[in-house]
Structure 1
Amino acid sequence: MDLLEAATKVRENAYAPYSRFKVGAAIRAASGTIYTGVNVENVAYPEGTCAEAGAIAAMVAAGETELVEVLVIADSPTPVPPCGGCRQKLVEFGKGDVRLTMCTTDGASQTMTLAEVLPGRFDASHMDRT
């Protein structure tokens, strides 16, 4: 199964009764294993979870901490980029050259690197106090 197939399939499981905007995400870990996630809404909107965050959580729960490829799909007129919080989550686990492909359900896509989608990223080097 490839990332597009995995994200497309899992997208159907998204819980989006309020926005009806279903998102599916698939990430490939350094091991080659694919992890998926969906957006999960809550009536108290800020309490929801993004698809990218769900996929990352599944990867970490399985004991992995490095992603090497990301794909996100939504039913939108144009490819939908991850929100700011998910961009930061993605760069926590992926290097700057990791490819992020954003797709629509009708076949449009756009690919960027994590460095392009989050320039000036905040990372662990900012925490060094030496």
Structure 2
Amino acid sequence: MADDLFAKARMAMRKAHAPYSKFPVGAALRTTDGRIFAGCNIEVVSFPEGWCAETTAISHLVMDGGGKIAELAVVAERLPLCSPCGGCRQRIAEFATAETKIHLCDVEGGVKKTVAMGELLPFAFETEVIG
């Protein structure tokens, strides 16, 4: 993973709106054509209605015209390793390939674990419309 991807994820984490959980998270993704999109978690008092950092980054990707994710970095302030939640795993799968690399980082920039999307969500719902 390149340092620029982690730097964008950490900058996004610092912008998180996490007044309830006090658990800021940042994510940054790089597309196959080299663009980088970052996002942070955004909480509201009704917890299920907030946005995860990965979701925010993906929404920036979609707003810029879409594309495929080549790699994604996730960093959280209070954990040495923060993995995307189940919902985010499926959202990431919509824009990834089985080989997309997911980097789980600590706040200092160390990659604690890198997994392929297919390993993170081995039985994702199919992303092609059947019909």
> What's the TM-score once normalised by structure 1's chain length?
0.92
CA distance in 1, matches of 2:46, 2:31: 32
Are residues 1:95 and 2:97 paired?
A: yes
2:45 matched residue in structure 1: 43
Are residues 1:73 and 2:109 paired?
A: no
Percent identity over the alignment? 38
CA distance in 2, matches of 1:94, 1:124: 10
Q: Render the CA deviation track for 1:6-25: whole Å, top value 9, x for unaligned.
A: 11111100000001100000
CA distance in 2, matches of 1:124, 1:103: 27
Look up the equivalent residue of 1:96 and give its one-letter code: A
CA distance in 2, matches of 1:49, 1:77: 19
Residues 78 and 108 in structure 1, CA contact (< 8 A), matched pair in contact too = no
Matches within 5 A, 1:1-130: 2-106=4-108, 107=110, 109-125=112-128, 127-129=129-131
> How far 1:66 moved relative to its partner?
1.2
Give RMSD over aligned pairs: 1.4
CA distance in 1, matches of 2:49, 2:78: 23
> How far 1:29 moved relative to its partner?
1.2
> How far 1:124 moved relative to its partner?
2.8
> How far 1:77 moved relative to its partner?
3.6
> How far 1:65 moved relative to its partner?
2.5
> How far 1:75 moved relative to its partner?
1.8
Q: Render the CA deviation track for 1:91-129: whole Å, top value 9, x for unaligned.
A: 10000001000112143511101000001111134x424
CA distance in 2, matches of 1:110, 1:76: 16
- Using a 3 Å threshold, how does the CA distance of structure 1 residues 47 and 121 change in structure 2: closer, same or farther? same
Greater mean alpha carbon deviation, residues 8-17 or residues 71-80: 71-80
- Give the paired residue count: 128
After superposing on structure 2, the runs of 4+ consecutive aligned residues of structure 1 that deviate more than 2 Å are: none
> How far 1:90 moved relative to its partner?
0.5
